[in-house]
Copies of this chain bind each other. A is one copy, B any other.
Amino acid sequence: MKHAVLSALLSVAPFASLADPLPSWTQSDSKAAIVEFVQAVTDPDGPDYVTPADRVAVFDNDGTLWAEQPVYFQFIFAMDRLAAMAEQDPSILTTPTLKAAAEGDLATVLEGGHDALIEVVNASHSGVSVEAFQAAVADWLATTQHPDTGLPFDQMTYQPMVELLRYLRDEGFTTYIVSGGGLHFMRVFAEQAYGIPPEQILGTYGTTSYAQVDGVPTIVKEPGIAFIDDKEGKPINIERTLGKRPILAGGNSDGDFAMMEWTTAGDGPRLGVLVHHTDAEREWAYDRESPIGRLVDGLDKGPDMGWVIVDMAQDWSRIYTGAD
């Protein structure tokens, strides 16, 4: 009799429920909607089946896959790198903005707005080969902690999103990052942090040149931003690079709106996943008024387009990969 009961239990409990692919998500409507979508597009006998070649999922990075407060982590790197460069040669700090950045005076830099950010990135991200730049990023990630959490920056990835990426790949999706962050910066940690290889990372990029460095043909980072992968730039870059419209897009700010709108406007089953920062206790709570990660359009128009609005405080049982 005991054996019969055990048998019956095993036969009715599908394996999937034993091994939850999204263990850091609570049993919420958000999770149910995501799982339902994945099951629909992978069911070869269902009306919404999508062939694996078209199971393309795109995700913003800052604020969607890892944290972005008090400022984009790449910008903290830029200031730290500028300070290190100025130790070797103080004459590079030619403007008040660069001086403030090298001193770590974020407030003063932010007062300068967009132009000041570009100035600091240009000064700290150019005049170096891609290889040497990426070695500097790797060194910084290995030796620097976030000012508030004390965690290494690449441990401040969102564990529920890391699980979602893995779940999608297990179900035959290809997962891409499409970020306003820098291409060369992200490629240093994204493969280990998210399982996303360099060729599946799209981002903002500066001008590069093809040069002979010590007699070896080398790609060198030059001043000047060649492409900003934000807002309308995101769908433009995806179409240019992939040649197809994704079926799933994840984001968290107005910079992701066009990408998510374009994705979910396509024919057939589509899903938008909007991460709403609602957890002031475990992370940060911000949306409409935040200078970093401002979110208005997605909250106003996303629900009507069928997007899943993820409530971080309610829907995630765990936040950071690097902290329980």
Mark A residues whose CB is within 8 Å of B. 53, 130, 183, 187, 197-199, 201, 205, 208-210, 216-217, 219, 232, 235-236, 239-244, 258, 261-262, 265
Contact = CB atoms under 8 A, between A and B. Distances in A.
Nearest to A258: B210
Contact of A235 (B197, B199, B219, B242): B219
A125 B214 CA distance: 42
Contact of A262 (B210, B239, B261): B210
A209 B237 CA distance: 10
17 contacts: A130-B239, A197-B243, A198-B242, A198-B243, A199-B244, A201-B243, A205-B240, A210-B235, A210-B258, A210-B262, A217-B261, A217-B262, A217-B265, A219-B235, A219-B239, A219-B262, A241-B241
Given A241-B241, A265-B216, A209 B187 contact: no
For this chain, the copies found in one complex come to: 2
A130 to B, nearest CB: 6
B209 A240 contact: no
A198 B235 contact: no
Contact of A217 (B205, B210, B242, B258): B258
A186 B232 CA distance: 24
Contacts of A198: 242-244
Nearest to A234: B210
